[in-house]
Amino acid sequence: MRESNLSKNAKTFKIGLKEIYKLNHWVLPVVIFDALFKSIAPFINIYMSSKIIDELLGAKDIERLVLLVSITIGSNLIVHLISTGFGHLKNMLVDIALQNQRMKLNEKIINMDYEYVENPEIHNLRTKIWEANNMNGGGIRALIAYTWYLIKGLVTVITSIVLVIDLFKVDTLSSGHVSFINSAMFSYIFIALILVGTILSLKLRTTGQKKDFKCFSKVMDINRIFIFYANQIYDYNSGKGIRLYNQKRIYNNEIDNTYKNSKKVFTNVGNMNAKYFGFEAFITSFLGGMVYVFVGLKALAGAITIGDIVKYAGSINQFMAGSREVLSSINSIINNNQYLQLYIDFLNIKGGKYKGTLPVEKRDDDEYEIEFRNVSFKYPGTDIYALKNVSIKLNIGERLAIVGMNGSGKTTFIKLLCRLYDPNEGEILLNGINIKKYDYEEYTRLFSIVFQDFKLFSFSIGQNVAASVDYDENAVKDALEKVGLKERLDKMPEGIKTPLYKDFDENGVEISGGEAQKIALARSLYRDSPIIILDEPTAALDPISEFDIYSKFNEIVGTKTAFYISHRLSSCRFCDEIAVFNEGQIIQKGTHDELL
């Protein structure tokens, strides 16, 4: 059980290191060198001071003294310069690696199939990764830091053993009471004391850290709530609601609660730290004192010189500090693995969806034939059919209306049509061929959809319409004119370059809900796809306005195929064909007059 845990942790650690290497090739080499220099530095002084003291107490050769002091100062300077340089380089590379990590996560989300993006589990995973990273650097950042500690600790331990090993060689020449001090037994007792003390202090530290981690996950939950409410207050959209409905008290109350809860947790953390880390500090200082007693006795017994006291005592203390660093960094690495694992899991989410290669036939007449054949679909993680055995031939080139109550499956129907999801049963055909077989990008280019929850961004109007950084200005203007925004556009300070909203630019324009809808419609026109779908972007409007917009839009789209979705039959009366959805099934089909 413990074994398998250990090997699992080692595996995660290895994958983590590989991931760091992928994010930036130079981080790990620089971390290693930096740790190396930082751990060597104290030994230079320990070693050189012992030489200088012996020279002072012994031959007192001035020339040699000057040489020793110069070497000490010189080597300190060199090591300091190199390690400062490496330190800066390390920080810079870590920043680059973390930036790459953020981009990698974003890229992963953008390229992920839509069904994963909508999946709450995956959304949660992403939030946890983000939070772990922000709260305590959990994940990649922490792994880099702990790896640095681990290497520094290891080098410290090895160097101190090399320096101190002589001390434990038994001097057989001594006799009398001095012989005990120089005996192997005395050394063993001392080594045992050091080991027990170090392990005990480490045990205290790991227990303290474990409790710390537990508290931090509690704080993370509290923090999530706090961030949510704080963001709501700053978001000026919800700001309206907060004021109108006088929700201030609810918000303040929640924020107050989270504050009180976090204060409780932090007080606990403080008390615990005092207990565990205080006792640990006591043991460490006690051992530090014992080292001097041991080494001093050795010097008294004539086994070592006075200068050696500095060297050996310093090295043994470094050994203890180093082994604490090694063990606690291993412990931290194991703790951090749970966060690292989230990140690894996230990267391992497979793209999933089958993407075909068949080119989509380009037709000048825009006449495509689409057929749903016995299509059923449940959203991942649910047991209810959002669509049940839907069969319909879409008379492309005409106008189709999809009507049904809220939740009847209209949007789901569209999501399957444009391959945001694939059906669980049945198939969808384009010109007689399963849509999965078509090249995915080409297939999705057939559709231009305005969803109910369409979103405009705080970019320029032109970029919003084109949904891209670069765009054809005339086509954008043309699309905006068609949806009736020409006059509004003429009044804007920078025309189509005017930014929307004031998030990033104080010259940004605020637009009304109706204008936002028009921009969204213009976006669907600009895309110039053969099939345009309006999925109730106008649901918030009254029936007459919706009918108005739908029928005007219907004139604009010309020869294109257009699907109109509404929960109101009346909005679609201009359509050639109307399909009525109910509880995931098509219950009626016909013209407006037939259905009435």
Ligand X SMILES: Nc1ncnc2c1ncn2[C@@H]1O[C@H](COP(=O)(O)OP(=O)(O)O)[C@@H](O)[C@H]1O
**Which residue type, as a one-letter code, is found at position 228?**
F
Q: Which is nearer to ligand X, 222 or 386 (CB)?
A: 386
* Minimum separation from the CB atom of position 504 to ligand X (A): 30
Closer residue to Mg ion in complex, CB, 29/513:
513
156 and 322 in contact (C-beta within 8 Å)? yes
In the sheet that holds 585-590, the strands lie side by side as: 447-450, 531-535, 561-566, 399-404, 577-582, 585-590
C-alpha distances in angstroms, 350 versus 107, 113, 116, 441? 13, 9, 10, 18
- Stretch of residues binding ligand X (CB under 6 A), selected from 10-18, 158-166, 262-270, 401-409: 401-409
Q: Which does 118 bind (CB under 5 to 8 A by kind): ligand X, Mg ion, none?
A: ligand X
> Residue 292 binds which entry of Mg ion, ligand X, none, with Cβ cut-offs from 5 to 8 Å by kind?
none
Nearer to ligand X, 37 or 550 (CB): 550
- Pairing, β 561-566 against β 531-535: parallel
Residues 519, 484 contacting (CB under 8 angstroms): no
Residue 409 as a binder of ligand X (CB under 6 A): the answer is yes
**Residues 52-111 interacting with ligand X (rule: CB under 6 A):** none
Measured distance CA(360)–CA(437) in Å, rounded: 10
Taking CB under 5 A as the rule, which mask of x and - marks residues 386-425 in contact with Mg ion?
Answer: -------------------------x--------------
Q: Which residues of 482-494 are buried (b: 16+ CB within 10 A; e: fewer)?
A: bbbbeebbeebee
Q: Compare residues 26 and 379 and give the one whose CB is closer to ligand X.
A: 379
- The binder of 554, among ligand X, Mg ion, none, by C-beta within 5 to 8 A per type, is none
**Interatomic CA distance for residues 31 and 145, integer angstroms:** 9
Taking the complex as a whole, how short is the minimal distance between the CB of residue 385 and ligand X, in angstroms? 9
Nearer to Mg ion, 407 or 426 (CB): 407
Among the listed ranges 74-82, 101-109, 362-370, 379-387, the one in contact with ligand X (CB under 6 A) is: 379-387
CB of residue 418 to ligand X, shortest distance in Å: 13
| Binding test (CB under 6 A) with ligand X, winner from 21, 149, 379, 501 | 379
Query: Distance between CA atoms of 371 and 100, rounded to whole angstroms?
Result: 43
| Minimal distance, residue 417 CB to ligand X, in Å | 12
Query: Is residue 538 at the binding interface for Mg ion, with CB under 5 A as the rule?
Result: no
For ligand X, give the closer residue by CB, 159 or 408.
Answer: 408
- What is the SS3 assignment for 387? strand
One of 93, 287, 326, 386 touching ligand X (CB under 6 A): 386
Pairing type for strands 531-535 and 447-450 reads parallel
Using DSSP's 3-state secondary structure scheme, residue 47 falls into helix
143 to 4, 13, 98, 285, 484: CA distances (angstroms): 21, 8, 12, 29, 56
β-strand pairing of 370-378 with 425-430: antiparallel
- Site size with ligand X, rule: CB under 6 A: 12
392 lines the binding site for ligand X (CB under 6 A):
no
Q: Give the DSSP per-residue string, 346-384.
A: HHH----S--B-BPPPP-TT----EEEEEEEEE-TT--S
Residue type at position 183: S
Instruction: Please choose which of ligand X, Mg ion, none residue 523 contacts, taking the beta carbon within 5 to 8 angstroms, the exact cut-off set by kind.
Output: none
Q: What are phi and psi of 430, to 5 degrees?
A: -115, 125
Hunting for tokens 């879409």 — which residue is that?
A: 394
What minimum distance in Å lies between the beta carbon of 407 and Mg ion? 8
Q: How far is the CB of 119 from ligand X (least distance, A)?
A: 8
Residue 407 makes CB contacts below 8 A (sequence gap 6+) with none
Nearest CB to Mg ion, comparing residues 98 and 562: 562
Residue 495 DSSP symbol: G
Give the shortest CB-535-to-Mg ion separation in angstroms.
6
Q: Is 410 in the site for ligand X (CB under 6 A)?
A: yes
The answer to the question of residue 571 lying near ligand X (CB under 6 A) is no
CA distances from 248 to 63, 89, 454, 527, 530 (A): 79, 48, 29, 43, 48
- Select 284 or 411, whichever has its Cβ closest to Mg ion: 411
Nearest distance from residue 406's CB to ligand X, in Å?
4
Interacting residue with ligand X among 406, 474, 512, 559 (CB under 6 A)? 406
Burial of 29 (C-beta count, 10 Å sphere; 0-12/13-18/19+): exposed
Smallest CA-to-CA distance from 578 within 360, 398, 451, 386 is with 398
Task: Answer with the entry of ligand X, Mg ion, none that 409 interacts with (C-beta below 5 to 8 A by kind).
Answer: ligand X
d(CA 372, CA 397): 17
Read off the tokens for 210: 């474990």
Which residues in 502-521 contact ligand X (CB under 6 A)? none
| Interaction of residue 442 with ligand X, rule CB under 6 A | no
Of 87, 356, 407, 484, which lies in the binding site for ligand X, with binding defined by CB under 6 A?
A: 407
> Judged by CB under 6 A, which of 4, 246, 382, 512 binds ligand X?
382
Which residue number has the CB closest to Mg ion? 411
- In the bound complex, what is the minimum distance in angstroms from residue 574's beta carbon to Mg ion? 20
Question: From the list Mg ion, ligand X, none, which binds 298 (C-beta under 5 to 8 Å, kind-based)?
Answer: none
Mark residues 102-141: x for contact with ligand X by CB under 6 A, - for none.
----------------x-----------------------
Which range, of 151-159, 171-179, 260-268, 409-417, touches ligand X by CB under 6 A? Answer: 409-417
Q: Supply the minimum distance, in Å, between the C-beta of residue 416 and Mg ion.
A: 13
Residue 583 contact, options Mg ion, ligand X, none, Cβ 5-8 Å cut-off depending on partner type: none
Between CA 1 and CA 93 the distance in angstroms is 38
| Interface positions with ligand X (CB under 6 A) | 118, 379, 382, 386, 404, 406-412
| Interface positions with Mg ion (CB under 5 A) | 411
